[in-house]
């Protein structure tokens, strides 16, 4: 009987789907990330690992599972926590959960954009702190969203969904992506593809939706922040290291940009020193895809990938399908 190890608690429908097939499914019930030593032990013992972004599946973990471990099913669209080339060398399939979190993440990017632009969190703290003494015409002035310019860095599924929502605000939509893609989608929403420098200079809101690869690490650093409008806002729901967090703190302190809203961080769960002290930020704990419906879909998609491999089929969302040809 195939056995599966789930490295942290995930929504129950995913676990139920695996157990319904008769597989032995063990779960780390502590909801605390496993150590590298523990991950190596599980890789050597189980036929499948269902992992999360907090699990660092490096070459040592994969080598420990060589010959036994068939699949690492990541419950996330990103898989930068997994050494996919090493997995390929060891004949281990890696899968992710794309698509199901697109709309939810796009919704949340807009949640952050609106919150930081209209100073919602500041207003909440102002009211709860007992400082509200009556309406004032200059109190907590924010920035309009309607008819402003939105710059989207990365025009994949989520970037396109963000752009679609921007049409309801009659925004001028710019996007930057080194890969020319989704030209039909761009035309439908009236988005214009521009170079990154142009996007930074012209946008009132810059929202980041790129994967984390070597080329995108610190894609937004001090040189890029200096090119933005002093009245502009930066929103990041992609991966923390895409933004140089130290440079962002300095830029916010120097008023180089008006504000920032982050859901991801360079060294999660720790923020860069000084970030939480800044009032012109909205900071959330990596919850862009955290709707009940979406997280359940992610868990069941990961389960479906495992089931496909155990049944000799191609998993729906393999990130290294070349393993299947070996």
Length of the chain as a residue count: 326
One domain for residues 251 and 272: yes
Residues 150 and 213 reside in one and the same domain: yes
Please indicate, yes or no, whether residues 126 and 187 belong to a single structural domain of this protein.
Answer: yes
Helix (H) or strand (E) holding 303: helix 292-310
Quote the number of domains for the chain: 2
Q: Does the annotation count 40 as an active-site position? A: no
Q: Report CA torsion sign: 226, 210, 40, 100.
A: positive
Quick: pLDDT tens for 88-139.
999 999 999 999 999 999 999 999 999 999 999 999 999 999 999 999 999 9
Do 7 and 24 belong to one domain? yes
Marked catalytic residue, from 41, 89, 143, 268: 268
Residue 296 structural domain: 3-98+292-325
Instruction: Evaluate whether 264 touches 248 at the Cβ level (below 8 Å).
Output: no
- What count of other Cβ atoms lies within 10 Å of the Cβ of residue 141? 9
In the predicted model, is pLDDT for residue 4 greater than 90?
Answer: yes
Look up 239 and say whether it is catalytic: yes
pLDDT for 11: 97
Catalytic site includes residue 218 = no
Same domain, 78 and 94: yes
What value does the mean pLDDT take over residues 20-36? 95
Q: What is the pTM of this model?
A: 0.89
Residues 53 and 108 in one domain: no
Q: How far apart are the first and last CA of the chain?
A: 23
Task: Give the CATH number for residue 162.
Answer: 3.40.50.720
Query: Does residue 143 sit in the same domain as residue 186?
Result: yes
The residue annotated as part of the active site, out of 40, 119, 239, 295, is 239
Please give the Cα distance from 7 to 301 (Å, whole number). Answer: 16
**Short-list 99, 61, 17, CA closest to 310:** 17
How does residue 285 score in pLDDT terms, banded at 50, 70 and 90? very high
Write down the catalytic residue from 201, 217, 286, 296: 286
Closest to 78 measured CA to CA, from 171, 142, 1, 154: 154
Question: Do 117 and 245 fall within a single domain?
Answer: yes
pLDDT at 326: 66
């Amino acid at each position: 009987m195939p056995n599966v190890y789930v490295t942290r608690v995930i929504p129950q429908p995913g676990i139920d789907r695996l157990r319904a097939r008769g597989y032995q499914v063990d779960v780390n019930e502590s909801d605390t990330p496993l150590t590298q030593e523990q991950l190596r032990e599980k890789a050597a013992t189980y036929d499948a690992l269902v992992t999360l972004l907090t699990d660092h599946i490096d070459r040592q973990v994969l080598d420990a599972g060589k010959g036994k471990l068939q699949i690492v099913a990541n419950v996330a669209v990103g898989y930068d926590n997994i050494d996919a080339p090493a997995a390929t060398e060891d004949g281990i399939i890696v899968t992710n959960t794309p698509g199901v979190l697109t709309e939810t993440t796009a919704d949340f990017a807009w949640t952050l954009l609106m919150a930081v632009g209209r100073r919602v969190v500041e207003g909440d703290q102002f009211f709860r702190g007992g400082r509200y003494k009556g309406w004032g015409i200059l109190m907590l002035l924010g920035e309009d969203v309607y008819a402003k310019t939105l710059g989207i860095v990365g025009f994949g599924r989520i970037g396109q969904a963000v752009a679609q929502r921007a049409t309801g605000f009659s925004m001028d939509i710019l996007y930057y992506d080194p890969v020319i893609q989704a030209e039909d989608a761009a035309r439908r929403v009236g988005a214009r593809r521009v170079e990154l420098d142009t996007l930074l200079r012209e946008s009132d809101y810059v929202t980041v939706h790129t994967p984390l690869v070597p080329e995108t690490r610190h894609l937004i650093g001090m040189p890029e922040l200096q090119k933005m409008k002093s009245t502009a806002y930066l929103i990041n729901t992609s991966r923390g290291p895409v933004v140089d967090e130290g440079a962002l703190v300095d830029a916010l302190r120097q008023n180089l940009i008006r504000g920032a809203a982050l859901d991801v961080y360079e060294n999660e769960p720790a923020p860069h020193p000084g970030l939480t002290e800044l009032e012109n930020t909205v900071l959330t704990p990596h919850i862009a895809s955290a709707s009940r419906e979406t997280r359940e879909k992610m868990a069941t998609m990961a389960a479906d990938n495992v089931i496909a491999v155990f049944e000799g089929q191609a998993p729906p969302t393999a990130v290294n399908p070349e393993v299947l040809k070996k």
